[in-house]
Amino acid sequence: MSRALEDDHGSFAVIDLVAHLYRGGAEDRGALAKIWSRYSDATVSERKTTGFEMVRMHHATLTRMFRDDPDGDYLDIEDVRMTWEEFVDALRDATGASADEPASPENAKSYDALERPVMQRNQSFSNLAKDLEEVIAAARSPGTSADNTPEGSTRGIQRISSSGMLLGIGCSSREPSLRGGNAFHAGMTVRSEDLKSRLEKNATQ
């Protein structure tokens, strides 16, 4: 992954870049959709590989989010974060990155622990991260966080990763206990059935 957006706090998590574009204007969301489409086209064969079944499922959900909600009217950023975590976690398992760097109690909700091993093991995901960085860097002038910039933010990019994952490493598992249980999901912004309903409603309009 390039360091085009690195500052004195280090590089951004990929979820920071995804969230920045998703919460931006029409041009930003259009750029995100274009980058995701390019990534999707480049990984068709990969997602058909044995062991990538969960990757394929979560990829399809993210694709619908970016395609069917172009104005960001139907979904909260936490919906995107949860699906992103499940997608990358599934990639972490499918690529063998989880075996290389098993999660520990200390980093179980770290985006770095989630994303970095996948970038090291999977070139297509690394390319996706690079494309996101380059698009955002091209739209922003050089500089680091200023005094009047919200803490944890630079160039308008909020470091939502600093608060940790919503679900945690292991969230792509089918075992509910690894994802915090049903009580946890009941308290989230949008439950899976609500998310499906929103996307389907938008697709028919």
Q: Within a domain: residue 3?
A: no
pLDDT in 10s for each residue of the chain, 205 residues? 444 566 566 789 999 999 999 988 888 999 999 999 999 999 999 999 999 999 999 999 999 888 877 666 667 888 899 999 999 999 999 999 988 888 888 999 999 999 999 999 999 999 999 999 999 988 765 443 333 333 333 457 889 999 999 999 988 874 543 444 333 334 444 445 565 566 666 666 5
* The pLDDT value given to residue 189: 41
Q: Within a domain: residue 29?
A: yes
pTM reported for the whole predicted model:
0.77
Which of 129, 96, 124 has its CA nearest to residue 40? 124
* The pLDDT value given to residue 139: 77
Give dist(CA 175, CA 161) in Å, integer: 25
Q: Which domain holds residue 118?
A: 14-139+149-203
What are φ and ψ of residue 42, in 5° steps?
Answer: -80, -15
Q: Within a domain: residue 8?
A: no
* The pLDDT value given to residue 113: 94
Give dist(CA 105, CA 36) in Å, integer: 32
Give dist(CA 65, CA 73) in Å, integer: 11
Q: Within a domain: residue 46?
A: yes
Q: Domain count of the chain? A: 1
Q: Within a domain: residue 4?
A: no
β-partners of residue 10 are 7
Q: Within a domain: residue 9?
A: no
* The pLDDT value given to residue 63: 93
Q: Within a domain: residue 121?
A: yes
